[in-house]
């Protein structure tokens, strides 16, 4: 059985410090496996183009999730260091986490000492010797985060974003789903797509990579939704809704498997296959 929850190492390291394991808000392993499979299919097609030979692809949830453990896996494999739960914080970089503001939250990622000095300047805090290096900041994490947290509470999220603009410190708001789809950049990127479903009517879906017009082969392929990836010389075709069960039975038998109309009719009459007539 394949399921996002059957390979749970990601849950082990996701939660507030000292808390119970928490499932990520979306099925990250399912998504990662799909992306790995996508890349594998592209590599297999290139291999076929170069050699004429086919490739068997093995892409599973367990392998995909283990490969996504990144530095957490490296810390264990090379230093025997078991993963801990840090909430929004980073295990080995401080400050690199979310902070509550007067009206919401921001996430700040001071990945080096120069960026940290900017954080201190922008939060109007005085630099202290025991915060001079990241190693010292990790050692004094609790005190530093408490001090920064009190500072971020003094102003609204929008005010902090203005302060950090142009500073070189990665910072951004932690948006609600409503705020995400109200964002001008999301709308500009056309990441809200509409599809016409045969039974549900018009349905909105988020942008996805999908498939694209191919000028090389003259084919028109249909993606599941909108353009998360854009290309300079060709664009995405319009999104298509998820198919109904049996919606494309005849099309697959005829166009993909090259069955004759007589054989298809026999299969339908024998109820070996079914064609959904909803259009």
Q: Which amino acids are annotated catalytic?
A: 30
The answer to whether 206 touches 191, Cβ cutoff 8 Å, is yes
Give Cα 151 distance to the centre of its chain: 31
Closest to 61 measured CA to CA, from 30, 39, 40: 30
Q: Evaluate whether 59 touches 37 at the Cβ level (below 8 Å).
A: yes
Query: Which residues make Cβ contacts (< 8 Å) with residue 223, sequence separation at least 6?
Result: 208, 209, 210, 211, 212, 236, 237, 239, 240
| Inter-residue contact 44 to 55 (CB < 8 Å) | yes
Between CA 191 and CA 209 the distance in angstroms is 10
């Amino acid at each position: 059985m394949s399921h996002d929850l059957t390979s749970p190492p990601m849950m082990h390291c996701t939660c507030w410090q000292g808390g119970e394991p928490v499932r990520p808000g979306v099925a990250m392993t399912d998504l990662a496996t799909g992306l790995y499979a996508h890349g594998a299919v592209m590599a297999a097609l290139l291999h076929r183009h170069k050699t004429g030979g086919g490739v068997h692809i093995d892409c599973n949830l367990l392998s995909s999730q283990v490969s996504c453990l990144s530095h957490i896996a490296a810390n264990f494999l090379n230093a025997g260091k078991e993963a801990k739960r840090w909430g929004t914080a980073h295990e080995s970089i401080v400050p690199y986490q979310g902070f509550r503001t007067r009206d919401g939250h921001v996430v700040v990622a001071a990945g080096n000492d120069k960026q940290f000095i900017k954080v201190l300047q922008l939060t109007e805090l005085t630099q202290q010797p025991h915060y001079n290096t990241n190693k010292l900041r990790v050692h004094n994490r609790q005190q530093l985060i408490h001090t920064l947290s009190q500072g971020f509470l003094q102003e609204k999220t929008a005010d902090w974003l203005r302060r950090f603009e142009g500073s070189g410190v990665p910072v951004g708001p932690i948006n609600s789903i409503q705020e995400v789809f109200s964002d001008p950049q999301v709308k500009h990127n056309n990441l809200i797509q509409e599809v016409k479903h045969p039974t549900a009517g018009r349905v909105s879906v988020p942008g996805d990579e999908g498939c694209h017009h191919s000028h090389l082969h003259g084919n028109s392929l249909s993606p599941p939704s909108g353009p998360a990836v854009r290309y300079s010389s060709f664009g995405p075709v319009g999104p298509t809704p998820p198919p109904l069960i049996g919606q494309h039975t005849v099309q697959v038998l005829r166009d993909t498997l090259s069955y004759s109309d007589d054989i298809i009719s026999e299969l339908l009459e024998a109820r070996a296959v079914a064609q959904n007539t909803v259009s």
